[in-house]
Amino acid sequence: MNAISRYFSRHLQALLSAFARLLKRPFGSLLSVLVIAMALALPASLWLLVKNAQSVAGDVTESIELAVYFKLEAPLERAEELARAAVSRADVAEAVVVSADEGLEEFRQFSGFGPALDALEGNPLPHVLTVRPKADYATPEGVESLRRYLAAAAEVETVQVDGEWVRRLAALLDLLRSVLLSLAAVLGAGVLVLIGNTIRFEIGTRRAEIEVIKLVGGSNAFVRRPFLYEGVVFGLLGGLVAIGIVALVIVSLAPAVERLAVLYGGGFVLTGATILEALALVGAGTLLGWLGAWLGAARLIARIEPRD
Amino acid sequence: MIRFDHVFKSYPNGREALHDVSFEVAAGEFVFLTGRSGAGKSSVLKLLTLLERPTRGTVTVNGQETSALPARAIPAFRRRLGIVFQDHQLLADRSVYENVALPLRVSDTGFRDVDKRVRAALDQVGLHGRERASPGELSIGEQQRVGIARAVVARPAVLIADEPTGNLDHGLAREVIELFRRFQDVGVTVLVATHDMALVREFSQREILIDEGKVYTGRSLGGEAA
């Protein structure tokens, strides 16, 4: 048997013995796995909700528009010139000029003040340019940059942006992301402590066995290996159960979200984790399991020495 | 094979367990290490298995000076020894087979070799067919045989036994010593610590007597300390 197959066989052996030990105390193992799963599922669910919220925000930002009001004396040609310049920019999807006459006509049709308008000596409305930024640039920073560009033209009186709500939404998503990171950090630390403590307890109950193994020449790495695999198995199973919990959360929230979307005239559907995201969750659980077991086992095992 | 050279061992409480101890056990020799309880036998064995280090002097086993060994080299050092304990130190939740296989598992021996050697070791101690039994199902004598099989399964050059007959009646104790003699016949160096003088007298082997931390070598069967 060569070194590589010996390497794999000893790791396989450690993995199988870790499973066997978990099965020896099924109730305790199940509880630990469930706690780990919940600790992983909570930030994962929140992350999916933020991701969905971002996608909603992305749809809505496509309707952001900037209204550029020209000075009354500004010629229409100037408005059209600025529209052409704006469209040539990378951040602009569309720029449409509404002349003062068109504006007045629209106002006459929709306002119901037709006779009153007839009494006016001239047209009090300016030419207006409506500019829609591209979706990628419909961020607070992108919109602000575009606003400054349009406002810089000499014939422009003012630029109105309905951007406050975009900033609020972005700030809310930023806050949610920060909460998510803090929550993930706290719960991740909790998983480390839980697994580390479980492994330390396990080592305590198997101290005599560890002493015998060391007496017959077992190294710290040999003694440690099954405990690390135990942590890995805890984390792996916790990650798998967490995927199930997240799926349940998404399935249970989906009808309510769809009803809400219909009320807003949209066809939004809540999306769950992709395969890659699910794998990342299991990977995170496995990594936390390994790290927790390492923290719990490494120093303790190194300190155990045979007494006779 | 085993050499103690002016070894002193004192413990933190001030007790001096060994005082200027020097002796040698040649390769392939069978030697009894005798003395009353508390005479220093355990300290000798602890130094041999690197559970302790000498306060002064040098201990050499298998050509390796133990005081120079770093902690990380201790497992490999112990893998070259076979150790038999008075209380067997078997793992209760593992089968006889797995107990005997333990020294091979820690040294990454392949599965086929493990199987071959474990069965051979159990054959040597007369426990063929008891592989699946758990230690609790065995008699005290059988448990000691499992302990011996575990000690020899990795084919160590040196076999060290700490009161291996302490819990056995005279007949079983005799069988165990006969077993050690058979390992000596195939070239293994055997050092058996015991206070059972009747048993020592029965076997014509060199004896190293320890008394109050000092060693008396060259004592022949039934004779007095040199």
Distance to chain B for A8, nearest Cα, Å: 11
**What value does the mean pLDDT take over residues A60-80?**
85
Interface residue A275 vs chain B (CB under 8 A): no
**What value does the mean pLDDT take over residues A258-274?**
78
pLDDT of residue A60: 61
**Which one-letter DSSP state was computed for residue B187?**
T
**What value does the mean pLDDT take over residues A75-94?**
91
A306–B111 CB contact, under 8 Å: no
**Nearest-CA neighbor of A242 among A207, A201, A272, A211?**
A272
pLDDT confidence of A68, banded at 50, 70, 90?
Answer: very high
- Bridge partners, residue B21, by sequence: B7
**Which one-letter DSSP state was computed for residue B133?**
-
Interface residue A179 vs chain B (CB under 8 A): no
Phi and psi based region of residue B216 (left: phi greater than 0; alpha: psi -120 to 50; beta: remaining): beta
pLDDT confidence of A308, banded at 50, 70, 90?
Answer: low
Interface residue A209 vs chain B (CB under 8 A): yes
pLDDT confidence of A59, banded at 50, 70, 90?
Answer: low
pLDDT of residue B219: 43
Q: Taking the model in full, what pTM does it have?
A: 0.74
- Bridge partners, residue B56, by sequence: B8
The span from the CA of B201 to the CA of B211, in Å, is: 18
Interface residue A213 vs chain B (CB under 8 A): yes
| Least confident interval from A14-28, A85-99, A154-168 | A154-168
B102–A10 CB contact, under 8 Å: no
What distance, in Å, lies between the first and last C-alpha atoms of chain B?
A: 22
Considering only CB atoms, A217 lies closest to which of B76, B90, B110, namely B76
- Mean pLDDT, chain A, as a whole number? 87
Model confidence at A64: pLDDT above 80 = no
Model confidence at A71: pLDDT above 60 = yes
pLDDT of residue B190: 94
Listed ranges A103-112, A173-182, A209-218; the one with the highest mean pLDDT:
A209-218
Considering only CB atoms, B51 lies closest to which of A10, A216, A306, namely A306
Considering only CB atoms, A1 lies closest to which of B78, B106, B110, namely B110
**What value does the mean pLDDT take over residues A247-275?**
83
- pLDDT tens digit sequence for A193-240: 999 999 999 999 889 899 999 999 999 999 999 999 999 999 999 999
pLDDT of residue A264: 67
pLDDT of residue A254: 87
Model confidence at A1: pLDDT above 60 = no
Interface residue B110 vs chain A (CB under 8 A): yes
Neighbours of A307 (CB within 10 A): 10
Site from B46, B51, B52 to mutate, A interface, most A CB atoms within 10 angstroms:
B51
pLDDT of residue B221: 35
pLDDT of residue A164: 65
Which residues of chain B are modeled with pLDDT < 70?
A: 217-226
